[in-house]
């Protein structure tokens, strides 16, 4: 029995159990041994029963891990710059509690916020430009 890929139209999907890579915020991860129909062209997967749930749970775990690392990085950089959470929020244009929520993992900062703080980590002298 053969199937057509619903994503790219490839005529032959391959039934297999394969490791499936994915990326979250630039971090590569792999969900091992995913059973289903795999497309050799676009790498789309039609999951066997239960595999989609297992795949989604694996992605959530990795995302939570990466988000926690990002929150810890923001705390470290903010403290290195000797900023309060309120001062950090003002610099990034967020509300008064924005950094508290980012650092506790209750909200995800925009990539611009994370990128700005990574830039300030490497070039703390630029902080004066933002505060004046």
Which tens digit of pLDDT belongs to each residue from 10-29? 778 999 999 999 999 889 99
pLDDT tens digits, residue range 41-88? 999 999 999 999 999 999 999 999 999 999 999 999 999 999 999 999
- Indicate whether 126 and 67 sit together in one domain: yes
Checking if the pLDDT of 1 tops 80, the result is no
3-state secondary structure of 36: strand
Residue 125 and residue 73 share a domain: yes
pLDDT at position 45 is 94
The strand pairing partners of 20, in sequence order, are 31
Residues 67 and 132 in one domain: yes
d(CA 59, CA 78): 28
In a domain, 56, yes or no: no
Q: Verify that 71 and 102 share a domain, yes or no.
A: yes
Asked if residue 76 and residue 21 are part of one domain, the reply reads no
Query: Is the domain of 41 the same as that of 71?
Result: no
Q: What would the two tokens of residue 126 be? A: 């630029």
* 109 assigned to some structural domain: yes
- pLDDT for res 96: 86
Is the confidence at residue 124, as pLDDT, over 80? yes
Sheet containing strand 27-38, edge to edge, reads 14-24, 27-38, 45-47
Q: Report if residue 55 sits inside a domain.
A: no
Residue 72 sits in the same domain as residue 128: yes
| Burial (CB count within 10 angstroms: exposed 0-12, middle 13-18, buried 19+), residue 7 | middle
Does the model's pTM come out above 0.85? no
Q: Is residue 12 part of a domain?
A: yes
Picking from 42, 15, 47, the residue whose alpha carbon sits closest to that of residue 31 is: 47
Residues 44 and 95 in one domain: no
Instruction: Check whether residue 97 and residue 69 sit in a common domain.
Output: yes
Both 34 and 98 in one domain: the answer is: no
Domain around 92: 62-132
30-36 average pLDDT score: 96
Same domain, 14 and 75: no
Q: What is the CATH number of the domain that holds 29?
A: 3.10.20.860
Own/partner pairs for 94-101, CB < 8 Å, 24+ apart?
99/74
């Amino acid at each position: 029995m053969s199937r057509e890929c619903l994503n790219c139209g490839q005529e032959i999907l391959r039934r297999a159990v394969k490791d499936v890579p994915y990326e979250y915020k630039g971090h590569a991860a792999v969900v091992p041994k995913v059973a289903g129909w795999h497309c050799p062209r676009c790498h789309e997967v039609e999951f066997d029963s239960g595999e989609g749930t297992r795949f989604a749970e694996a992605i959530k775990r990795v995302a939570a891990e990466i988000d926690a690392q990002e929150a810890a990085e923001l705390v470290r950089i903010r403290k290195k710059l000797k900023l309060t959470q309120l001062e950090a929020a003002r610099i990034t244009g967020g509300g008064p509690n924005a950094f508290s929520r980012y650092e506790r993992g209750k909200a995800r900062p925009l990539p611009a916020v994370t990128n700005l703080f990574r830039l300030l980590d490497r070039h703390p002298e630029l902080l004066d430009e933002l505060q004046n």
